[in-house]
Structure 1
Amino acid sequence: MAGVLYRFLADVVMVLHAAFLLFFVGGGFLAWRWPKVIWAHLAVGVWSITIVLLDFDCPLSGVEKYFLRKGGEEPYSTGYINHYLDGTIWPEGGTPTAEKVGFALLVISYIGFFVLRRRSRAKAKRPATTSP
């Protein structure tokens, strides 16, 4: 019975990890509509850049692997992205390219965010015009 619970918890962490990655890719664009989201996205972006640059395992992968072991399953030996996405979402070995695309989307979303913020501030500073 405990094994089923641990496997369920591993699945929950796997889904949360997927949501985290989706937020990394798209959260900056969400901030275009909901500007306060940018702060959470900035934290996710810094965290993701740190993991890639320093080349260490994401703690979410470690938690999932822990639950898999406790549930009697053999955890995967690679990271989450290599295990679930490489060769599935993009071609085998394409993770470095996918990372570059993800970080490019982050930069594009931030540029768009700041352009939109600047426009909305400029619009707010303009005096209201009255029609005759």
Structure 2
Amino acid sequence: MYYSLAADAVVVFHLLFIVFVMSGALLVLRWPALVWLHAPAVAWGMSVEFLHLYCPLTPLENSLRIKAGAAGYAGDFVGHYLIPLIYPAGLTPSIQIGLGVVVLTVNLIAYWRVIKRLWRRRRAA
């Protein structure tokens, strides 16, 4: 039971990390100090997408599921609703690159606004 809960926690953390990578720049607009957490997260997320790297959370989750005696995700909320968001069916290298471009675009726009705001503040001072 504990291994199953730990695997579910890994999936939730994985999803939250993905959401942070994709939209964390919006938080940086509000709290600029978050850039020190967000920029490395974006670098890792884009590396995984563009270079087709294997995220270490995936084998961790799988090993926890195996230790829990489970082979699949059927039967629980996390497995039914969150797993398809993180690991969609039919995910191809082209789709991964497209997702990476979306992440890059969203972050470039948000960071451009952060830099523009800081530049205006320095000119006004």
Which one-letter code corresponds to 1:35 in the other structure?
A: P
5+ residue gaps, structure 1, are 77-82, 128-132
With normalisation by structure 1, the TM-score equals: 0.69
Alignment partners' CA distance in 2, 1:54 and 1:103: 13
Tell me whether 1:126 sits opposite 2:124 in the alignment: yes
User: Which residue in 2 is equivalent to 1:111?
Assistant: 109
Alignment partners' CA distance in 1, 2:116 and 2:16: 29
Between the aligned residues of both structures, percent identity stands at: 27
By relative contact order (CA 8 Å, sep 6+), the higher-ranking structure is 2
Moved over 6 A (4+): none
| Structure with greater proportional helix content | 2
Aligned residue-pair number: 114
Structure showing greater Rg: 1
5+ residue gaps, structure 2, are 74-82
With normalisation by structure 2, the TM-score equals: 0.73
Whether the 8 Å contact between 1:28 and 1:106 is mirrored in structure 2 is no
User: Which residue in 2 is equivalent to 1:130?
Assistant: none
Aligned-residue CA RMSD in angstroms?
2.6
